[in-house]
Amino acid sequence: MKKATIFATALLIAALFVSSHSFGQRRKVYNLPTYDEKPYHFGFILGLNQMLFTVKTVDGLPLIKWDQTHSPDIFADSLFVQSITSSPTPGFTIGILANLRVSRNLDFRFIPSLSFGERLLNYNILAYDGGEAQLIETAKSITSTTVDFPFLFKYKSKRLNNMRMYVLAGAKYTLDLASQKKAQKNSSDITVKVKKNDVSLEVGAGVDFYADLFKFGIEVKMGYGFNNLIKYEDNIYTNGIDKLNSKVFLLSFTFE
């Protein structure tokens, strides 16, 4: 959420700067005055993303005792998972954009995209070996290359000179091409695997700027997945998780 707040703040600052500049001029020449009257148009997007998970652990997780067979990559007589959290790393997104005009203030958008990112699952594990306790912190990396198919409705404000604000909402289907669902097992290093398919809700806001030859936009979106993505494999890294849902923050730049 902290990253999303930074993105939203940057977007707001940009909008306020442009709007203050617009108000400072009594008369301004409209760029692309009839652009939004077109029934449809196309473009592309470039974006920065942060993928992470919402993790819900099983009830009473810190009290569940695991033995060596459930974690061959940690040598101990018994193991207790204290917590499981998720953290993101920066990624990027590219895609094409198709926009259909529905009404004066409403558009329908289809934006097939290719996204690259990595998510970490962080485990705090209390290990007992020979009567001695040790707190172990370890992380499992899940790399994703996703093909995204978002279907969004875009509601636009009234145009102010060469700027227009908007909000959008819709649904997205995601196919993870780098899913580790079919990865080979390795007895000495457990890999956390996730399912390939997901459906998520997307909401966001943005600002369009009208230039002489094209329209440029800055947009912030948040996506919340519905599917439980964890693939259970009878080990401490998967069986301690009740639900694993995707969450994606995207700062994108549109060129239309």
For the stretch 99-118, pLDDT in tens is 999 999 999 999 999 999 99
Question: What CATH number does the domain containing 177 carry?
Answer: 2.40.160.20
Helix, strand or coil, per DSSP, at residue 146:
strand
Residue 181's alpha-carbon distances to 122, 189, 191, 193, 208, in angstroms, are 19, 15, 10, 5, 40
What pLDDT, on the 0 to 100 scale, is given for residue 182? 53
Stretch 220-246: mean pLDDT = 94
Specify whether the CB–CB gap between 174 and 190 falls below 8 A.
no
What pLDDT, on the 0 to 100 scale, is given for residue 71? 85
Residue, of 218 and 70, whose pLDDT is higher? 218
Q: What is the largest CA-CA distance in the chain?
A: 81
Stretch 12-28: mean pLDDT = 49
Backbone angles phi, psi at 11, to 5 degrees: -65, -45
Among 64-73, 97-106, 186-195, 240-249, the range scoring the smallest mean pLDDT is 186-195
Stretch 32-36: mean pLDDT = 87
Question: Which domain range does residue 157 map to?
Answer: 2-255
∠ CA 226-227-229 to the nearest 5 degrees?
Answer: 135
- State the total domains in the chain: 1
Residue, of 178 and 172, whose pLDDT is higher? 172
Q: Which residue has the tokens 């939203």?
A: 8
Helix, strand or coil, per DSSP, at residue 229:
coil
Q: What amino acid occupies position 182? A: K
For residue 26, the 8-state DSSP code is S
Q: What is the mean pLDDT of the chain?
A: 87
Specify whether the CB–CB gap between 225 and 199 falls below 8 A.
yes
Distance CA(152)–CA(171), nearest Å, equals 7
Stretch 71-90: mean pLDDT = 90
Neighbours of 75 (CB within 10 A): 9
What pairs with residue 66 in β-bridges?
A: 79
Residue, of 240 and 6, whose pLDDT is higher? 240
Report the percent of the chain where pLDDT is more than 90.
Answer: 70
The structure's pTM equals 0.82
Residue 8 pLDDT exceeds 90: no
What pLDDT, on the 0 to 100 scale, is given for residue 74? 85
Distance CA(194)–CA(86), nearest Å, equals 14
